[in-house]
């Protein structure tokens, strides 16, 4: 799980260009403006490539993908 989270934080840093992105695993990434729609899609596509999962766009419920912890949980379920 920690491995997944570390990878997610790396992806967030890459996509947003922010050094502190995802530092706090419970930070609301949408509310705090870390991720906009474009960045969200980039993160999703990268997650697909990195973990070999498929995220149907309409399954994508913001409230369930809003923090590093939640993303990690989703990835684990989809893996």
Partner 1 sequence: MNNITPYSSPHYFIYLLILLLPIIIGLWFGKRFKIYDFFATVVILITAFFGGNMKQGISLIFYILFEMVVIFTYRAYRKKYNNFWVFTLFVILAIVPLVFVKLDPLLNNATISLFGFMGISYLTFKSVEIVMESRDGVIKELKPFEFVRFLLFFPTITSGPIDRFKRFQKDVLNVPSRDEYVELLHSGVNKLMKGLLYKFIIGYFFGTLLLPKIEILTLSYRGQTPLGLSWALVAYMYVYSMYLFFDFAGYSLFAVAISNFMGIKTPMNFNAPFKSKNIKDFWNRWHMTLSFWFRDFIYMRLMFTIIKHKWFKSRVTIANLGYVTLFLIMGFWHGETWYYIVYGIFHALAMITNDAWLRLKKRHRKSIPSNKFTHAFAVFLTFNVVCFSFMIFSGILDKLWF
Contacting positions for partner 1 (CB under 8 A): 17-18, 36-38, 40-42, 44-45, 48, 56-60
Smallest distance, Å, CB 33 to partner 1?
9
Name which of 6 and 45 has its Cβ closer to partner 1: 45
Cα–Cα dist 33/2, whole Å? 24
Name which of 38 and 52 has its Cβ closer to partner 1: 38
Cα–Cα dist 2/67, whole Å? 14
Name which of 1 and 45 has its Cβ closer to partner 1: 45
Calculate the alpha carbon distances from 5 to 38, 58, 59 in Å: 21, 23, 21
């Amino acid at each position: 799980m920690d491995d997944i989270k570390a990878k997610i934080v790396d992806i967030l840093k890459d996509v947003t260009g922010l050094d502190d992105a995802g530092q706090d695993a419970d930070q609301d990434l949408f509310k705090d403006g870390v991720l906009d729609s474009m960045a969200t899609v980039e993160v999703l596509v990268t997650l697909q490539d990195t973990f070999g999962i498929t995220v149907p766009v309409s399954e994508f419920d913001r409230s369930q993908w809003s923090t590093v912890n939640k993303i990690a949980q989703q990835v684990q379920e989809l893996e």
